[in-house]
Amino acid sequence: MRSLALIALVALLPGPAAAEPRLVFESPAGVAEIPFQLYGNHIYVRGRVGDSDSLWIVLDTGASSASISESKAKALGLAIAPGGTSNGAGGIVQSGIVTGVRIRMPGLEMVDERLSTLPIDAIELQTGRPMDVIVGHDLLSRAVVEIDYAARLLRITDPAKFKTPHGAASLPLTFKQNLPYTKASFTLPGRKPVEGVFVLDAGASTALTLGPDVVEREKALDAVPKTLRSRNGGVGGVVENRIGRIDRLQLGPYSVQAPVTVFRRPGPGAISAPGTAGNIGGEVLRRFTVTFDYRKSRMWLTPNAALTEPFEADMTGLVTSVLPDSTRALRVLWLQDDSPATESGIAPDDVIEAVDGTPMAQLAPLAVREMFRQPGKTHRLTVRRGSERREVTLTTRRLI
């Protein structure tokens, strides 16, 4: 399975004049408390665009502007003007522009928004859930946003009415291309800590990604005992990288042990600004309550019970993609060497149609990914090769 990073740096052409975007709170107290679902480390909120039916809205600190799925914009009949380009984790894509949009969430409205349109249906296929609207800097620059991962609750506050969280660790923020960065350090096995500046990206499902310049400069792959090939996707497409474990990530006063780390290769797309070290994603952020105050260039961290949970990666050796049909079956792209998948006799281009007797059409892709990240679990896979089907059994184990 692959990890996803939604990060999109949007360069839009000048569009038609529009009213100034603004936030409207339902409560006079200037606070909206919005439940969210955490799915693949992405923050999903139920909401609407204008008077639409209920949609899925994703909060992404790695998005420099608000956007809407191109297919959803067309389905809603929104007027799409020619736009510019969006630079995501997978490369550059063309964007359209929709103006005068009203985004409605519980207790809060974003009025007269200007959205870029993004071709993100492929991401939705891989996650199994629509990403209708993505909000980032447009919301975070106008309100203080607290992400309480443990309680699955967003608290969005008028900056004039915000009170600093008691007892939380405070970290300074800097901004590049409308995205939040902070200083952190990482330690490779057998090495001294390396300091750098990292983007804080709640739209990345991964824990830590090191940029290609850093990987090369630090000879990072020479220090890591074992790495695997990985497929990382986001806006713009899919890129291949390596994943492995480093000793620790130090974020403020908190030491995060043995995070699974993506070692980015040179190529299209971007996970952080030039000259920065990389990307701290949702697999790290979900271990805290994180509060962003862009106007004061600060963030606050309060650890939750997940802080000491181990970081895990796929334990089958399968690297797959979801077929774009009603079966939602998994096509095997390649297999990791010396893995349960290779030992089971599965081969590239095989198609996994069911897991433990349940057809893939009834299983969310990310749910299968989580099943395959649990050690010592035996699974029965229904595998098709050409016109022949067979049952294959494999038992998961840690590969890195």
Same domain, 11 and 155: yes
Q: In this structure, is residue 400 part of a structural domain? A: no
First to last CA, the chain: 15
Q: In this structure, is residue 252 part of a structural domain? A: yes
Structure tokens at 138: 């447009």
Sign of CA dihedral 112, 164, 152, 307: positive
Same domain, 263 and 229: yes
| pLDDT for the residue 271 | 85
| pLDDT for the residue 248 | 98
Same domain, 33 and 139: yes
Residue 198's DSSP bridge partners are: 182, 278
Q: In this structure, is residue 259 part of a structural domain? A: yes
Contact by Cβ (8 Å): 346, 335 = yes
| pLDDT for the residue 6 | 52
The three-class DSSP label of residue 161 is helix
Q: What is the pLDDT of residues 160-203, one digit of tens each?
A: 999 999 999 999 999 999 999 999 999 999 999 999 999 999 99
Same domain, 173 and 292: yes
Q: How far apart are CA 311 and CA 283, in angstroms?
A: 8
Same domain, 122 and 197: no
Last residue of a domain, one of 161, 190, 218: 161
Most distant CA atoms of the chain, gap in Å: 65
Please list, in sequence order, all residues whose beta carbon lies within 8 angstroms of the beta carbon of residue 28, skipping any fewer than 6 positions away: none
Q: How far apart are CA 396 and CA 348, in angstroms?
A: 19
Does 104 have pLDDT greater than 80? yes
The three-class DSSP label of residue 390 is strand
**Which residue in this structure is represented by tokens 């990292």?**
198
pLDDT band (50, 70, 90) for residue 277: very high
Does 204 have pLDDT greater than 70? yes
Q: How far apart are CA 184 and CA 159, in angstroms?
A: 26
Same domain, 152 and 173: no
Same domain, 153 and 200: no
Q: In this structure, is residue 58 part of a structural domain? A: yes
| CATH number for the domain harbouring residue 337 | 2.30.42.10
Burial environment of residue 371 by CB neighbours within 10 A (0 to 12, 13 to 18, 19 or more): middle
Q: What is the pLDDT of residues 109-167, one digit of tens each?
A: 999 999 999 888 877 877 888 899 999 999 999 999 999 999 999 999 999 999 999 99
Q: How far apart are CA 238 and CA 320, in angstroms?
A: 12
Same domain, 97 and 55: yes
Q: What is the pLDDT of residues 390-399, one digit of tens each?
A: 999 999 999 9
Q: How far apart are CA 277 and CA 184, in angstroms?
A: 9
Residue (of 340, 335, 345, 287) closest to 311 by Cα position: 287
Looking at the 3D structure of the chain, how many domains does it have? 3
What's this model's pTM, rounded to 2 decimal places?
A: 0.90
Same domain, 295 and 387: no
Q: In this structure, is residue 53 part of a structural domain? A: yes
Q: In this structure, is residue 52 part of a structural domain? A: yes
| pLDDT for the residue 2 | 39
Q: How far apart are CA 332 and CA 348, in angstroms?
A: 5
Q: In this structure, is residue 313 part of a structural domain? A: no
Q: How far apart are CA 306 and CA 289, in angstroms?
A: 11
Q: In this structure, is residue 146 part of a structural domain? A: yes
Looking at residue 164, what DSSP letter applies?
Answer: P
Domain boundaries, position 88:
3-161
| CATH number for the domain harbouring residue 65 | 2.40.70.10
Last residue of a domain, one of 257, 278, 308: 308
Same domain, 157 and 179: no
Same domain, 174 and 48: no
| pLDDT for the residue 282 | 98
Does 17 have pLDDT greater than 80? no
Same domain, 62 and 94: yes
Q: How far apart are CA 341 and CA 15, in angstroms?
A: 51
Last residue of a domain, one of 286, 308, 330: 308
Q: What is the mean pLDDT of residues 318-341?
A: 93
| pLDDT for the residue 91 | 56
Q: How far apart are CA 400 and CA 395, in angstroms?
A: 16
Please list, in sequence order, all residues whose beta carbon lies within 8 angstroms of the beta carbon of residue 22, skipping any fewer than 6 positions away: 110, 111, 112, 142
Q: How many CB atoms lie within 10 A of CB 17?
A: 6
